[in-house]
Structure 1
């Protein structure tokens, strides 16, 4: 699908800051912006339409962004903005709360109340991925959600980490998506964001059943990926860790068309295949690669790999490494 990507380098230098102000006011919400970098303003913006939600990626120099009552009266899209901070530190104030955010934090603000935001990076770029959530669609009391405004919410573990990883992966893979894929991923992004906010507020019971199901599946997927090296990673172990019955676990996965054991095996094989193709790991024995991801038997691994990819792991590694070092394929990075 189309991913809209805009960069200040495509605009004459003297018009770049004006271009950025117009872009943010038009595509996000009318905002007053000021900066000390008017004459050297370097910024970029990307946008992906995910159906029920929109996803943006912004990169910009230190600046101040304020939304006043007058600007709200001019235009209000009535949207919650849930941002994952990726670059230098930022600061925001809204609804009698203020917080300083660093890379790895999530922060929520909304367009219907005044706010004051600042990039604090000195000469470094501020970067963020922003999920735009229509206020009217969020099944949580607005008075409760507003308690989370301008609060730094770490996204390094739990539901925050799951949501952050999902947003990064969707943004990375967006160019390969078709319209139906984008809509499905948008619904999942909405489910995960709603589950994250509900968890922060302790009101998970307010979420629709489908949102709770998607959030549980996301937690299970993350648990599986983090424990692939454990040979004891089985459906009963997964079910016990998430306090559900094995039958309930199988029913969850049945709806997505892939069994629990099948997903565990597929993810193990995918990681093994990536390591076998890595030139930096060419001297690592294949049996060690297999053991790293929970295959107790080298013979079992070889059979599973051949069934999945149509060739033995040794043959795959040889072909992948030969391709990586083929003449004309320059993989040297210059330090600038």
Structure 2
């Protein structure tokens, strides 16, 4: 029978940056066969930041993957497995309590979770769920009925962080523990989108990037929980500002195709004044103005689209329009000023990939 196999790193919780652990034969593929040793290895990796009793109905044929990274004081986990039951008991808490929050987002399969004395909550893909190491919980996760009958898979992303890092009173957050939390609006969408992107990039993160991203995770999670508590005013001003700026940047990237993407429309979408938005953005971006950032994003998207073989048949003017440029001549001048060559020359390979994107004026 196959043994656990590490494809990169050890999966330890002291890892700076990303690591990836594949447990079972065939890289954890659904058609691979696993064994109890594979389950023991997976349980060991997961237990480094989640101290709980873990069992599985598929322990004898277990295959799984684990992606794990240390983001400053927080740990992010991405995993796939057949089925699992995770229990933290009163006895475990009495023996040792690291005082951590455990956030889980189900991306495939389903879950049923009981926290403390509360009712059982049922989780579907897209749901968020928060528990604490200071309170008993009983979680069961399994593949959706009828999917992968021979080797079913459940997938999820988790964040583990000290309770003391959230700028929200623990007594208030307690109201959200054990609940199936929707994340289909506002800061919930920002948080889940960020976690999905983070999970994809874990193997490539450098230590300095990972540390900075830990702060982003905490800000987004804080903003989301405050929204669910209807208590956003209780967040420190800096946390609210950072969460808003992340929202603003995501909004800009999503609307680059719109020629009407201007500071007034962005301010209106976020219910703030234009002057306040300018001050907040410029302060956080080390002098880069909001207008310069929008221009930088438009040109970067055009640069990448012109080099994309799948878009080779799309006229250059159409590429420019996809990036919010309404006049072909203005686009050509801006592109050449930023990259030192015309859009046509870049499309035909007469260029070297720049290291830092287009040149951006800060004034």
The interval holding the TM-score normalised by the smaller chain is 0.7 to 0.9
Cα 1:311/1:103, change in 2 over 3 Å: farther
Cα deviation digits, residues 179-230 of structure 1 (max 9, x gap): 3332222112111111110111011121111101101101211221222222
Separation in structure 1 between the aligned mates of residue 192 and residue 293 of structure 2, nearest angstrom:
22
Please, which of 62, 67, 70 is the counterpart of residue 46 of structure 1? 67
Structure 2 unmatched runs, 5+? 1-15, 28-33, 146-150, 354-363
Helix, strand or coil at the partner of 2:239: helix
Q: Which of 108, 112, 134 does residue 91 from structure 1 map onto? A: 112
TM-score, scaled relative to structure 1: 0.88
Q: Is 1:158 aligned to residue 179 of structure 2?
A: no
Q: How does 1:18-167 map to 2 (within 5 A)?
A: 18-25=40-47, 27-95=48-116, 96-121=118-143, 123-167=151-195
Aligned residues of 2:67 and 2:199 also touching (Cα < 8 A): no
Does 2:208 correspond to 1:180?
yes
Q: CA deviation at 1:163?
A: 1.1
For residue 267 of structure 1, report the CA deviation from its aligned partner: 1.7
Distance 1:309 1:97, change over 3 A: farther
Match of 1:212 in 2: 240
TM-score, length of structure 2 as denominator length: 0.82
Aligned to 2:19: 4
**Match of residue 292 from structure 2:** 262
152-161 vs 215-224, which deviates more?
152-161
* C-alpha deviation, 1:176, in angstroms: 4.4
Q: Distance in 1 between matches of 2:310 and 2:325?
A: 21
Query: Are 1:279 and 2:309 matched, yes or no?
Result: yes
Unaligned runs of 5+ in 1: 324-336
**Greater Cα shift, 186-195 or 52-61:** 52-61
Query: 1:333 maps to what in 2?
Result: none
Cα offset, 1:291, TM superposition: 0.9
Distance verdict in 2 for CA 1:14–1:242, change over 3 Å: closer
Q: How far does residue 232 in structure 1 lie from its aligned partner after superposition?
A: 1.3
The alpha-carbon deviation at position 5 of structure 1 amounts to: 1.9
CA distance in 2: counterparts of 1:174 and 1:74, whole angstroms: 32
More deviation, 12-21/287-296: 12-21
Cα RMSD for the two superposed structures? 2.3
Aligned residue runs from structure 1 range 233-252, under 5 A: 233-252=261-280
The structure that is helix-richer by fraction is 1
User: Which residue of structure 1 aligns with residue 323 of structure 2?
Assistant: 293
Tell me the matched-pair count. Answer: 321
Contact 2:115/2:177, CA 8 A, preserved across alignment: yes
After TM superposition, give the deviation of residue 135 of structure 1 in Å.
0.9
**Structure 2 CA distance for aligned equivalents of residues 2 and 240 of structure 1:** 37
